[in-house]
Structure 1
């Protein structure tokens, strides 16, 4: 079967299922981003999270908490208040960890060049232990301090999602234009005077795309996990 046709079939199967995230649906803050990707023939999303504050109870493995072996005491995609965390901590029997996680998006990509547009990760997170073997190790004042930081990160995360959406939209439009005019692309490479003129006098739209492409490469923005359509699928 033709690989493009096979990918379309795979995509149709994927989109017919519920989002594979713990919530099982797409968060409001990333609906447009998910729709943008799923509207392109070379992508489809399998799981997503717009960002969240969570309180986990489990055992620390080294410096990391394995979420699959933990009890989720609290999870919210909105700003969190201290009282909610204090109530949730009373249920902790192990090592409770407060975490903020930014945008997470899992995307299936048709080819390597499609995945390269999305291959970025983020360190815009927070992970702090609060209790050990059920015993609270910090003060309520410190918890309140941590939540202020986590809530600020949540607001910043929303801005980054919007910026990422705009950058991705420009990058996809640029790729579409390039693919639809391959002969003009070759002509531009062979015409050095034309290329030099374009560099000295870029159009506003072109400049915007270039700046956003650079921002995608260098900015500490959302975490995107991409999977290439396998050769032997």
Structure 2
């Protein structure tokens, strides 16, 4: 307070909320991040696509605070009002911290969903390849009596392990 009373120019109490700019590889990635941002309370967030196709996401909100306290060295507010403003600024800081934590959690969940989704896509591709492999093997068996039942079980066992490893490898 003493420093504020001794000021010879303008003094302003200012709080600025979290702002994050992210360059995204695809519009879909930007939309995923945007959904997480809006769900977390950053309702002023937006996506911009530049002339050269650069996709940028801005994560931001509007809960800032800027209040003049002195003008040309003259204190314009009471000490009680400054204490009130500090309480509000601290509340805004706490809310900002909570929004950042929510954004982080929403982002983690979105990335997990994306990983699971891509894992399912990879599994479908492997299953498709597995079906093709089995069909080719079965066609060969019909025409080649040299394929034994033991060899067929060995191949099926290897195929099954490959799929279960893909499904449960790093997810648990």
Normalization by structure 2: what TM-score?
Answer: 0.49
Q: Between Structure 1 and Structure 2, which shows a larger proportion of helix residues? A: 2
User: What is the TM-score normalised by the length of structure 1?
Assistant: 0.38
